[in-house]
A and B are shown apart, each in its own frame.
Chain A
C-alpha cells in the first residue's frame, strides 16, 4: 500500500510531469513568440519615443524574477480581480508575457540588423512595406534571431519549473512529490534532469540544423 521503491507507475507519473512542462513551455513559447514579433517590430518601427510605454512594460517583465511574477499575478487575478482562473492559465499567461518580453528584444535587434540598403532595394522594385517585411526582412531577421531564440526557448522550458508555485504539477514538482515519498533525492533528481535533457536536446540540435541549412553553403 505504501511503496518505498521506484515503480513503473512513478516513472509514468514523472513522464506526466514532463508532459505538463512541455505543454506549458509550448504554449508560452508559441504565443510569446507571436507577441514578441509584434512588439519587436512595433518597437523598431515607431522608434524609442513612441514605444516607451511598451518598452517599460516589457522591461518590468524582464527584470522581475519569474517566481515573484507568478505569485503576484496569481494573487492579483484571484484576490483583486476575483477571477476564477486555474493555476495552469495563470502559469501560461505569465510565462507567455515573460517570453514575449525577451523575444521582443531579439526581434527588434534582428530586424535592425537587416541593412537599410537591402530594404531600399526591395522598395525600389515596387514592393510594399508589407511585402518587404514578409519576403526580405523577416527571412533575414529570422537567421539573425535564431540562436538567441533557441536559447530563449530552452530557458523558458527550464524556467517553467517555477510554475509549481501556482499549483501546476510539472516535471520538477512531480519529482519533489516522489522525493518526499521515496526519500531518494539524488536518484530522482538525476532522472528528472535526464527528462529535461531529453526534451531540450532535440530543440538545441534542431536549431543547429537550421542554422547550418540557412548559411547558404
Chain B
C-alpha cells in the first residue's frame, strides 16, 4: 500500500504540491489526470524518492520513503517507474538493458537474469529484438523495453509518468496495450496520463490534479460523467471536445 499524507513540495518559490493526501491499495489501478504543471509527475518522482519532499509523509508498505536511514536503493526495487522519455541505456543491447539491474542490484546469476529478461521482453512483445541496440527500435518499442526493464525487478508497484506523451500518435496504441495487459494481470499501477480514453477504461479510480491540489478523486464514471468539482468538469469537457 502506498500512503501519501499531506505532502508538500516546492521548486524555489513555486509550490507544486500543496498538501496531497492519497492512499493506493495493492491491486489498484489509479490514473492521475490534470493540466501541465499540476504536480502529477512530481508526485511520482517523490514516491520513489528521486525528489525530496518539503513536508508530509509518503510510506510504501510501511516504509517511510523520505525518512533518514531509509535505504532508497532497496525501496526502489519495489517501485518500478517508467518515464516519458524512455531512457534506454544506448551502449547495451535490448537484452542487456533489461538484465543489468537484476544482475547488479538483485545479484542474480547471468542465466537467471537472462531468463527473466527474455520472459519480460517476450511479454511486452519484444522477443524478436533481444540482441539489437535500442537505437534500432522505434519509440514505442523503446518504451516497451523500458517497461520490461522495470518489470524485470519484479516490482510490487509500477509508476508510469506520461509514458505515451513523447510518442508518435501511431505508436501510442502499442504502449497502452502493454499497460492494459499489466492492469488485467493485477499489477498495482499509478499512471500519470493524458490519454483520457485509456484512463476511463483501465482505472479503478481517477484523480484529477489542478495547481498542486488533488481536486477530485473517484471512479472513472464519476470523473468523466458526473464530475463533482467545477474544474474537473471544465477539464473533462475540454479534453473530450
Name A's B-contacting residues (CB within 8 A).
115, 117-118, 120-128, 131, 135-136, 139-140, 143, 214, 216
User: Which stretch of B61-69, B87-95, B198-206, B222-230 is in the interface?
Assistant: B87-95
Q: Which size bracket describes the interface of B in this complex?
A: 20 to 34
Name the prevailing secondary structure of the B interface residues.
loop
Q: Please, which residues of chain B bring their CB within 8 A of the CB of A126? A: 73-74, 76-77, 101, 105, 153
| Contact A127 B105, beta carbon cutoff 8 Å | yes
- Interchain CB contact (< 8 A) of A121 among B73, B105, B135, B146: B146
Q: Please, which residues of chain A bring their CB within 8 A of the CB of B118? A: none
Known contacts A125-B101, A127-B104, A118 near B87 by CB under 8 Å: yes
A-B contact pairs, 11 of them (CB 8 A): A117-B87, A121-B89, A121-B146, A123-B76, A124-B81, A126-B73, A126-B77, A127-B101, A131-B104, A131-B105, A216-B90
Give complex CA distance A20, B175 in Å. Answer: 60
Residue B100, interface by CB 8 Å: yes
Give complex CA distance A131, B91 in Å. Answer: 15
Q: Please, which residues of chain A bring their CB within 8 A of the CB of B149? A: 125
Give complex CA distance A177, B222 in Å. Answer: 93
Query: Residue of B at shortest CB range from A115?
Result: B87
| Contact A120 B83, beta carbon cutoff 8 Å | yes
Residue B85, interface by CB 8 Å: yes
| Contact B76 A140, beta carbon cutoff 8 Å | no
| Contact A125 B91, beta carbon cutoff 8 Å | no
Residue B115, interface by CB 8 Å: no
Name B's A-contacting residues (CB within 8 A).
48, 50, 73-74, 76-77, 79, 81, 83, 85, 87, 89-91, 100-101, 104-105, 133, 135, 146, 149-150, 153
Among A124, A136, A216, the most chain B Cβ lie within 10 Å of the Cβ of A124
Among B76, B104, B105, the most chain A Cβ lie within 10 Å of the Cβ of B104
Name the prevailing secondary structure of the A interface residues.
helix
Give complex CA distance A124, B146 in Å. Answer: 12
Q: Please, which residues of chain B bring their CB within 8 A of the CB of A120? A: 50, 83, 87
Q: Please, which residues of chain B bring their CB within 8 A of the CB of A118? A: 87, 89-90
Q: Please, which residues of chain B bring their CB within 8 A of the CB of A139? A: 91
Q: Please, which residues of chain A bring their CB within 8 A of the CB of B85? A: 117
Give complex CA distance A70, B73 in Å. Answer: 48
Give complex CA distance A117, B50 in Å. Answer: 11
| Contact B89 A122, beta carbon cutoff 8 Å | yes
Query: Residue of A at shortest CB range from B81?
Result: A124
| Contact B87 A121, beta carbon cutoff 8 Å | yes
Which 7 pairs of residues, A with B, have the shortest CB-CB distance? A121-B87, A125-B101, A216-B133, A126-B76, A126-B105, A126-B77, A124-B81
